[in-house]
Amino acid sequence: MKLTLQFIPFSAIEPLSSFKRITKILSMIGEDKILLMQGRLRAEEEADLIEETMRKIGKSKKFKGIELAVFSPKSSNLPIGIYIRKSIADLLVGQQDVLTVIGPASIVREIKKDPTKMQLLLKGK
Amino acid sequence: MVIKIIKNFVKRVFYNLFSIKRDIKLGFYGPPNAGKTSLANRLCKDWLGEELGKVSKIPHETREIQIKEKVEVKYNGKTLTLKLIDTPGIATKIDYEDFVKFGLSKKEAKTRAKEATKGVIESIKWLDDMDAVIVVLDATQNPYSQVNITIIGNLVARKIPVLIVANKIDLRKANIKRMESAFPEYDVVGLSAKFGKNLEEFYESLFKLVKKV
């Protein structure tokens, strides 16, 4: 089985509108790619991404949804409250030290987070 | 989004300025099967004598917004009038085959999955209408899931006061310390909605929460 990890640099996402960002992400997920995105979406964009994901599940027989996780090397072990505040502050400077992993739920069963590592648990065939 | 935040802000200022008393819209948010409906039911049973919705071990039992108006909660001589809004669990994936594993027929599972996707969309849309939100999490699960972070992040962005409930503390695997360390900036109350455990602390925190509205 071939597995594609697609890296999306911050420069490729940053100039896009929220709608285009989400469309681009879901389009690549639809190609069964696991995305490693530099930076992260805003909280509202994450909610929009979930909404669009639900619409796509409703329309497609094959698409089951996404697995999503955000990793920040500097803040991965921070409490969530501080992490959220830091995330909002980081929006002003682009938050390029953060990595967002998004994969199709048909391939990625679970993403486990840990302060020092991440684990992608894949679905067995 | 920005227009909605401004609209809500103006509405709050207007109500405060003219001291208009209104019911506080209290939302129950969280991932599926965390116990949102169980907790809403507990409140409704305690103060209205009737339940709000059906609960089940099968995820996504609540697939539509459920509302109970004029719920009067009394604690320490004070009274709150709440409009309880129980929302479908928010998830990033829904697979009908997961429901088949719980014994549903393929047709039932597909219908449930379709309704569940609509429910998630509804939950997100209703975020803008809340005055305060109780985020209900399963204390036996990892609190750092992205869905939890997305829900809380969206409430922070909308300036909606949040109370975190770590439900299912009656279970052996429940880890309230892990919940508290994950959310040190928030009031975290551990309880069992099913068995009515630690509700005193919950009602105290609830009254503190609505003061922030």
Shortest CA distance from A77: residue in chain B: B182
User: Considering chain A, what percentage of its residues have pLDDT values greater than 90?
Assistant: 59
Residue B13 lies in a domain: no
Q: pLDDT-derived band of residue A123, with 50, 70 and 90 as boundaries?
A: confident
Per-domain residue ranges for chain A? Answer: 4-122
Extended strands (E) in chain B: 24-29, 66-75, 78-86, 132-138, 162-167, 188-190
The Cα–Cα gap between A116 and B115 comes to: 38
Q: What is the mean pLDDT of residues B199-209?
A: 96
- The answer to whether residues B163 and B135 touch, using CB atoms and an 8 Å cutoff, is yes
Residue B157 lies in a domain: yes
* Closest among B35, B122, B43 to B82, alpha carbons compared: B43
Among A16-30, A66-80, B82-96, the minimum mean pLDDT is found in A66-80
Residue B15 lies in a domain: no
Which residue is listed with tokens 């994936």? B93
Does the structure's ipTM exceed the value 0.90? no
Nearest by CB to A81, which of B144, B146, B184? B184
- By residue count, chain A amounts to 125
Please give the structure tokens belonging to residue B22.
């209104």
pLDDT surpasses 90 at A49: yes
pLDDT digits (tens, 9 = 90+) for B140-198: 998 989 999 999 999 999 999 999 999 999 999 999 999 998 898 899 999 999 999 99
User: Considering chain B, what percentage of its residues have pLDDT values greater than 90?
Assistant: 85
- The answer to whether residues B136 and B148 touch, using CB atoms and an 8 Å cutoff, is no
Which pLDDT value is given to residue A124?
A: 75
CATH number, domain of B113, equals 3.40.50.300
- The answer to whether residues A60 and A109 touch, using CB atoms and an 8 Å cutoff, is no
Residue B88 lies in a domain: yes
Residue B92 lies in a domain: yes
The Cα–Cα gap between B173 and B93 comes to: 25
Residue B139 lies in a domain: yes
Quote the domain boundaries for residue B163. Answer: 20-211
Nearest by CB to A84, which of B92, B120, B156? B156
Cβ-Cβ contacts under 8 Å, A88 against chain B: 156-157
Q: Do A44 and B154 touch (CB under 8 A)?
A: yes
**Residue B77 falls in which region: left (phi positive, over 0), alpha (psi -120 to 50) or beta:** left
Q: Do A64 and B185 touch (CB under 8 A)?
A: no
Cβ-Cβ contacts under 8 Å, B147 against chain A: 50
Q: Do A42 and B156 touch (CB under 8 A)?
A: no
Q: How many domains does chain B have?
A: 1
Residue B197 lies in a domain: yes
